[in-house]
């Protein structure tokens, strides 16, 4: 008999959150710890990862902090073993350079694609291989509404997120029969360090809020439920999916949340 009260439990599982030092990653790490996982908080900013780990240890004393730079292929290859072969992987690390296509520089293109797309592939390959070998696992990657709807200056970022979603579907087709599920979450606008440029402009901030059905920005904590769901047995028949957590932004095609009459 299914114990529905335990559907969302990840009790005793080892989880790794890459990008756990701040924003969405920090909140997801705490959420997984609250539901029973021992969380490896991994980040390029290891001091920030330690801060997150200390928050997780209040729930799960075996949680730890680790350094990782996903643009370093050797580090990523060694990470699954170094982190104790996690059964849950949440990858949130990303960056954005807001610049129109004709103005984009080669070094900016390299930085964004190296982290957002190449880094994602390396993480998918390394941790996916570890999970496939052991016949169990759940992988969750952070995409974005920008994989579907873009605006001037978001072309490269959007392309990397569209590529991420394609990799998620491909990995699901290859890994799922081996006991490993692969999914993504596509947030809308969230109050994180990545969106600080927009938050600092009151007009820009209000305009973004108005484009979702809920008429507001998300807090990082509002992504936790989706991540725990996809990581847990509650999503045991979910793989190759992209779960939109965007306040209805894509549902209303990025239009205003308010009705205007002529």
Helix H, strand E, coil C: the string for 197-254 is HHHCCHHHHHHHHHCCCCCCCECHHHHHHHHHHHHCHHHCCCCCCEEEECCCCCCCCC
Tell me, what's the pLDDT at 260?
Answer: 40
Average pLDDT over every residue of 233-251: 97
Average pLDDT, the chain: 94
By annotation, the residues acting in catalysis are: 157
How far is it, in rounded angstroms, from Cα 21 to Cα 50?
8
User: What angle separates helix 46-57 from helix 23-34, to the nearest 10 degrees?
Assistant: 30
Domains of the chain by range and CATH?
A: 4-245 (3.40.50.720)
Per-residue confidence band for 197, with pLDDT thresholds at 50, 70 and 90: confident
pLDDT digits (tens, 9 = 90+) for 79-127: 999 999 999 999 999 999 999 999 999 999 999 999 999 999 999 999 9
pLDDT greater than 80 at residue 150: yes
Average pLDDT over every residue of 16-20: 98
Helix (H) or strand (E) run with residue 52 in it = helix 46-57
Tell me, what's the pLDDT at 255?
Answer: 66
How far is it, in rounded angstroms, from Cα 93 to Cα 161?
12
pLDDT digits (tens, 9 = 90+) for 214-235: 999 999 999 999 999 999 999 9
Question: H helices of 135-219, where?
Answer: 155-175, 196-199, 202-210
């Amino acid at each position: 008999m299914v114990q529905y009260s335990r559907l969302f439990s990840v009790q005793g599982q080892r989880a790794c959150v890459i990008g756990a030092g701040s924003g969405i990653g920090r909140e997801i790490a705490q959420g997984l710890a609250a539901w029973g996982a021992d969380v490896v908080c991994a980040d390029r900013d290891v001091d920030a990862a330690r801060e997150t780990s200390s928050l997780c240890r209040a729930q799960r004393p075996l949680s730890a902090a680790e350094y990782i730079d996903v643009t370093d292929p050797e580090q990523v290859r060694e990470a699954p073993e170094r982190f104790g072969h996690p059964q849950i992987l949440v990858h949130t690390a990303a960056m954005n350079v807001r610049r129109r296509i004709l103005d984009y520089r080669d070094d900016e293109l390299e930085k964004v694609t190296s982290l957002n797309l190449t880094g994602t592939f390396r993480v998918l390959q390394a941790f996916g291989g570890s999970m496939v070998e052991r016949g169990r696992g759940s992988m969750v990657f952070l995409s974005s509404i920008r994989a579907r709807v873009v605006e001037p200056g978001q072309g490269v970022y959007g392309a990397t997120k569209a590529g991420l979603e394609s990799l998620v579907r491909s990995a699901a087709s290859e890994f799922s029969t081996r006991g490993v599920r692969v999914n993504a979450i596509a947030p809308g606008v969230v109050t994180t360090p990545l969106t600080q440029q927009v938050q600092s402009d009151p007009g820009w901030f209000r305009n973004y809020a108005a484009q979702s059905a809920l008429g507001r920005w998300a807090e990082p904590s509002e992504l936790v439920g989706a991540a725990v769901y996809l990581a847990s047995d509650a999503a045991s028949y979910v793989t190759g999916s992209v779960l939109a957590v965007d306040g209805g932004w894509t549902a209303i095609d990025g239009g205003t949340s308010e009705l205007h009459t002529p």
